[in-house]
Every structure is written in structure tokens, then in C-alpha cells.
Structure 1
Amino acid sequence: MIRQMAWLPQDEGKEKILHLRIERGTPWRPYTMFPQFTIPDHMAIGSRGFSTFQKLLREGWEIIATENANQLSLLNDSEAA
């Protein structure tokens, strides 16, 4: 299992939320699709997923820059074709 996280736009919008990947070759998915890893956000303001981000960071998850995460997604798409 890989443990990667990235901040990516949600629904083509400007807001970025935490996305996770636990298997190579799979698309990024919003953190809310991984209830086994998430914790509730404790702030009314801020990015959605920030509490989970802090928890996973302490657990040693790898942070992938947004630009790199997008490139990984493109690579996965081309491998599938």
C-alpha cells in the first residue's frame, strides 16, 4: 500500500480539498472516500481535509505537490489506454 496525499481541486472548482491514493495506478480520490483514515475537521474555516492531512502527515504519508499529482494522473490515464 502506498500512502500519498495531495491538495486537488474539487469538481473543477477553485477550492482544493485533500485527495488520497493508496494504490499505484489508481486515480486520486477525495479524502471523504476513505473513512478508515479520516477525522472530522475541527475548524469552521480552512481547507476541507486539513485535520485529516495533519493526522496523516504525522503517520508518515507522502505529500505530492498538486502539479505532480496532476502529472501522475495523466500518466495513469495513458497507461490505461
Structure 2
Amino acid sequence: MIKQMCWLSLRGTEGNKVLHLRVQLGQPWQPYTAFPQYAAPDYPIANGSKGYATFHKLRCAGWTLLPSGQVEQGSWEQQRKSA
């Protein structure tokens, strides 16, 4: 199991970024809410980042944060395949 996180816009939007998770290479990124076993309740802050509490929890548990730009362009997959 891989433990990867990334801040991405929800599909079909260009708005605020939401934490997305992936636990296996080749699988699509999914919003953190699709993983109730890992998700933490969001902080009650107006206009706060969706998934920040989960990000903090998983970061402390050793998950890796990938740069949004690389994930959006697919360059992270190319780097993994060539390594």
C-alpha cells in the first residue's frame, strides 16, 4: 500500500483545492471523504481548507504529500516508472 496525498481541485471545478488520497499506484486520486477509515473531521473554520485535519493526521502517520503541479501533469507517474 502506498500512502500518498495531494491537494487537487474537485473534478469539473477550478475552485479551491481539496485533499485527495491514493493508496495504490495506477488508481485515480479520490477526495479524502472517500476514505472514511483515514479521514478526520474538518476543523470548524469558515472557509478553511477541506481535508486539512486529515492532512495533518496522515502526515504525522508517515503519508507522503506530492506536489499538485506534478500530479496534475502526470509527471509523478513518469518519474516512478523510470526509477
TM-score by length of 2: 0.81
Q: Identity of aligned pairs, percent? A: 43
Q: 1:33 matched to which residue of 2?
A: 34
1:4 aligns with 2:33: no
Q: Segments of 4+ in structure 1 off by > 4 A?
A: 73-76
Q: After superposition, give the CA deviation of every residue in 1:17-54 in whole Å (9 maximum; x if it has no partner).
A: 00000000011000000000001012323110000000
Equivalent pairs counted in the alignment come to: 76
Q: 1:4: how far off?
A: 0.2
Cα distance between partner residues in 1 of 2:10 and 2:45: 18
CA separation in 2, counterparts of 1:71 and 1:23? 18
The offset of 1:75, in angstroms, is 5.2
- Unaligned stretches of 5+ residues in structure 2: 79-83
Q: Distance in 2 between matches of 1:74 and 1:6?
A: 11
Long gaps (5+) in structure 1: 77-81
Query: What residue identity is the alignment partner of 1:17?
Result: V
- What residue number does 2:45 align with? 44
Normalising by structure 1, report the TM-score.
0.83
Two-structure CA RMSD over aligned residues (Å): 2.0
